[in-house]
Amino acid sequence: MTPDIISIDSQAKERAQQDKTLRILQITDSHLHTDPEWRLAGINTQTSFEWVMDLVQQEADTIDLLLLTGDLVHDASITGYTRLRQHIQRSGIRASCLPGNHDKPETLRMHLAGERVDVPKVVDLGTWVLILLDSTIPHSEGGHLSDQELELLQQSLNNYADRHILIALHHHPVKINSAWMDKMSLDNPAPFLAILEQHNNVKGVVWGHIHQTFEAVHNGIRLMGTPSTCIQFVENQDKFGISTAPPGYRWLELSPDGLINSGIERVEALPPGLDLKTAGY
């Protein structure tokens, strides 16, 4: 099995060749919809996504890659993916995407990929390599890494043993101290983590799905969950709850020596309309 591989554009590759830090911004769980006026828990997801992208645009010249980690279009519609692709293209920033449980992977690949937008398995960043995994299960909110995905991961790590590795997927591979959300985590984290433990060049794992910030370390590997571009969930709570925290993104700075510097940027406030009484999504 040969993974789909892309290389970054010439400007980013030049920075990598000059041993300079690479900058990735992670956008996740946008929950766009066929109807641009559609709302999730009272929030217009198109508006909140555009507010986050306006914040991203302010540093467009410094960004080597946008990383979109699933639940991109809530109804997995062609219209939603097309509008998302067009928005990214207008930003002028290169983007790589993977599916979440609300996406349809094949529809996403067919209608999101295009000019400056890719749906690859491996992204060659020079001193770093990004591996994107599909953790979706059809008609399920939870996640699973198939034998094929685990084989691709192992093969990619073998192929790039001399590079620093960042891995992205949608579902969280470790518990986040939230009983309702942890029921929808990756259901086979053991083989995934076992593969990572065999390779000391794996430096970080990043995901979406949880609509909140999460930070931990496993076997020296940074583990990072990221807020949504729409609504956020209350952290460290066993029952479903919506937070008043505004939407945002995660930035990652990948240094030539293998270190990861990362943090969260948020817009100043949520768009109007948040319904804290919403019982689920």
CA angle 15, 134, 206 (to 5 degrees): 50
CATH number at residue 246: 3.60.21.10
| In-domain check, residue 271 | no
pTM of the model: 0.94
- Start-to-end C-alpha separation, the chain: 37
35-85 pLDDT, tens digit each: 999 999 999 999 999 999 999 999 999 999 999 999 999 999 999 999 999
| In-domain check, residue 277 | no
Q: CA-CA distance, 221 to 202, in Å (whole number)? A: 7
Helix (H) or strand (E) holding 175: none
| In-domain check, residue 278 | no
Domain count, the chain: 1
214-247 pLDDT, tens digit each: 999 999 999 999 999 999 999 999 999 999 999 9
Residue-level pLDDT at 277 = 86
152-161 pLDDT, tens digit each: 999 999 999 9
Residue given tokens 């067919």 in the structure block: 110
Structural tokens at position 215: 């930070």
- Domain limits at 34? 5-266
